Structures are given as C-alpha cells and as structure tokens.
C-alpha cells in the first residue's frame, strides 16, 4: 500500500483514530474458511499491520523513556570527565615544548645557615667590643695597626669563635659553589661533603698560622709574624661576613642569578684584600728590611699555592 503527499498523512491519522477491523466485521465460522475468505482475511490482517506500523513510526509520539542517541553522543564528546579539563581539546594556538627540571636544594643547608647566623649573633652579644674592633679594622687604620700588640683588638676566645665561623662559612660556600653551580660530583656528598670541606679549610689555615709562628721563632721575628698574623686574621674575618650572606643568597636565588652573585662576591673579596691585607702587610713589612725575593717565595708557598691547589682539587676553575 503506497500513499504520497499530504493525503498519506491524513490517511494515516484516520487509520489511527478509526481503524477498520475487517477481521471482526466478518462473521466467524467454526469450520474451516473457504479459499476466497482466507485470502480476504490475510489481506485484512496485512493492511492492519501496515497501518499500525505507519502510525507507530510517523504519527504516534515517541516513548519518553527511550534513549536519545543524539544527546548521548553530544555528552560523550563534550561532557566534563572529572580530569581537571586536561582532556578537553584547545583550538587556540599554543606553544608546546619540553619542560625543564627544577633542581631542588638540600633542606639542611638552610638549617646550617641559620646556625651560623645564630653563632655570629652570639659572638656579637658576648664579645661586642671585639666584634666592633673587627669591623672597625676595615675602616680605621689605627685599629688594624694595633694587631699583635698587648692591646690586641680581639681576645683569644673571640679569635677561636671567628676562626671556626670562617672555616664553616667558607666550607658552605665551597659546597654550594661546587655542587650547586659547577655541578661537580665527588665520592662523598651532602652534609658529609660540607663537613669535610669545612674541616679541610680549618686545618689548612690553622697549619698556615702554625707555620708562620714556627718561622718567626726560627728567624727570631716573632713580633713581625704576630703583627702579620693579626692583620691576616682580620682580613679573613671580614671576608667571612661577606661569604655568610652570599651563602644565604646562593641557597635561595635562581641559578640564572648566580653568575652575577659570584662577580659581586669576587669584587667585595678583592676590595677587602687590597684595602686591609695589603695595607696592613705593607706597613708591617716596611719596618723590617729583608730581600724581596724571600717575600716572593713566601707569597707563592703559603698564600697563592694552597688556594690554587684547593681550586684544582675541587675542580672549580673558571669554565
């Protein structure tokens, strides 16, 4: 049965509203139907089936409980899946690349810096006059010239405390410089490397002072050597108060600012060395007449060579 156009729609609506049941209209017989009646009955059943099928597809409202495939497809493609929007596609242009691993620094370094700062604060509290003389020796030439005399600018225990502060501060600075900036790896690492570097520096400079005292005893120039050691120690102690804030900045700032920090540190160390060490040393040596070749040998043997050997051993030369 083929219908077209609007007529098909009206015909379908009528078949739904007033269906003609040709099967019920005919009288029922208890016996078998004749051949023509059976054909008419089959035709009527087929017509009813087609009219009911067309009504279900085109006229009757859909089942509200039926799954809406269109809505399901939209939700499946665009709905939030609970993965923090990482799976959503971004149509805008984005810059893609490889990430960089951010190096993490040791937590114990901050604890060591805090301990060193507290130790320096304790020295300032219990030996405020001696600490003031150490700082004034950089500006006041008279305070520096008093080194080695009976009224020495610092007493023995303050000297020991500042010497320990100098050793551990330089050890921490070398540890951050070698492992944090130059990325040099040794057989030991971490706190053990820091303690080893600090003890090496303390032993190295203590040996240097003992050798100077021994030379003063051998050549009978104890007064000159004592004045020189005092000027040398005041220079080291002033450098300590440069390395301490530098080590703090070293452990906190980004790697890209470290070269500028090293240049600034080198500048301060050179200024302190020239202004205090050379000024005091020249004034001390000028009062004692000896051949300048001996001075050259001393500077190479006890001043420059140990530092160069330490730099070579740590592999922290300029790269």
- Tell me: pLDDT of 100 over 90: no
Pick 73 or 122 by higher pLDDT. 122
Contact 291, 159 (CB under 8 A): no
**Dihedral (CA of 91, 92, 93, 95) sign:** negative
- Name the one residue in this structure whose structure tokens are 């010239």: 145
Per-residue pLDDT band at 170 (split at 50, 70, 90):
very high
| pTM tops 0.75, yes or no | no
- Tell me: pLDDT of 23 over 50: no
- Tell me: pLDDT of 3 over 60: no
| Sequence-separated (6 or more) residues with CB below 8 Å from residue 164 | 202
Q: What is the tens place of the pLDDT at every residue in 303-318?
A: 777 778 777 777 765 4
Closest listed residue to residue 232, CA positions, set 214, 206, 197: 206
CA distance 190 to 109: 9
Greatest pairwise CA separation for the chain in angstroms: 154
pLDDT of residue 167: 93
CA distance 319 to 317: 6
Tokens of 26: 């005919």
- Tell me: pLDDT of 131 over 80: yes
Mean per-residue pLDDT over the chain, rounded: 75
Cα distances (angstroms) measured from residue 224 to each of 41, 164, 242, 286, 287 = 139, 25, 28, 11, 9
Spell out where the chain has E strands: none
- Name the one residue in this structure whose structure tokens are 């003063």: 216
- Cβ burial, residue 314 (10 Å; 0-12/13-18/19+): middle
Percent of the chain residues topping a pLDDT of 90: 18
Contact 263, 253 (CB under 8 A): no
- Tell me: pLDDT of 278 over 90: no
- Tell me: pLDDT of 169 over 90: yes
**Dihedral (CA of 217, 218, 222, 226) sign:** negative
CA distance 105 to 17: 84
Contact 212, 229 (CB under 8 A): yes
- 197-215 average pLDDT score: 90
Per-residue pLDDT band at 37 (split at 50, 70, 90):
low
């Amino acid at each position: 049965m083929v219908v077209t156009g609007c007529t098909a729609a009206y015909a379908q609506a009528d078949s739904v509203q007033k269906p003609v049941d040709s099967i019920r209209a005919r009288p029922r017989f208890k016996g078998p139907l004749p051949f023509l009646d059976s054909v008419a009955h089959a035709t009527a059943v087929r017509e009813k089936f087609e009219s009911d099928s067309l009504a279900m597809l085109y006229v009757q409202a859909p089942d509200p409980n039926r799954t809406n495939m269109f809505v399901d497809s939209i939700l499946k493609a665009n709905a939030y899946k609970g993965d923090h929007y990482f799976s959503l596609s971004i149509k805008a242009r984005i810059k893609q690349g490889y990430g960089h691993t951010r190096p993490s620094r040791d937590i114990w370094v901050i604890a060591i810096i805090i301990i060193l700062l507290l130790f320096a604060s304790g020295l300032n509290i219990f030996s405020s006059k001696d600490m003031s003389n150490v700082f004034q020796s950089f500006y006041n030439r008279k305070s520096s010239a008093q080194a080695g005399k009976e009224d020495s600018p610092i007493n023995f225990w303050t000297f020991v405390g500042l010497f320990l502060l100098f050793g551990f501060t330089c050890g921490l600075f070398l540890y951050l410089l070698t492992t944090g900036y130059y990325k040099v790896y040794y057989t030991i690492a971490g706190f053990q490397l820091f303690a080893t570097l600090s003890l090496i520096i303390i032993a190295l400079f203590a040996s240097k002072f003992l050798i100077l005292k021994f030379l003063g005893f051998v050549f009978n120039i104890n007064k000159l050597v004592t004045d020189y050691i005092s000027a040398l120690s005041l220079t080291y102690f002033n450098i300590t108060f440069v390395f301490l804030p530098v080590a703090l900045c070293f452990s906190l700032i980004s790697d890209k600012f470290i070269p500028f920090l090293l240049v600034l540190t080198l500048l301060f160390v050179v200024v302190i060395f020239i202004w205090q060490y050379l000024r005091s040393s020249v004034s001390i040596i000028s009062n004692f007449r000896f051949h300048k070749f001996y001075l050259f040998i001393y500077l190479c043997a006890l001043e420059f060579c140990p530092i160069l050997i330490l730099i070579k051993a740590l592999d922290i030369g300029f790269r």
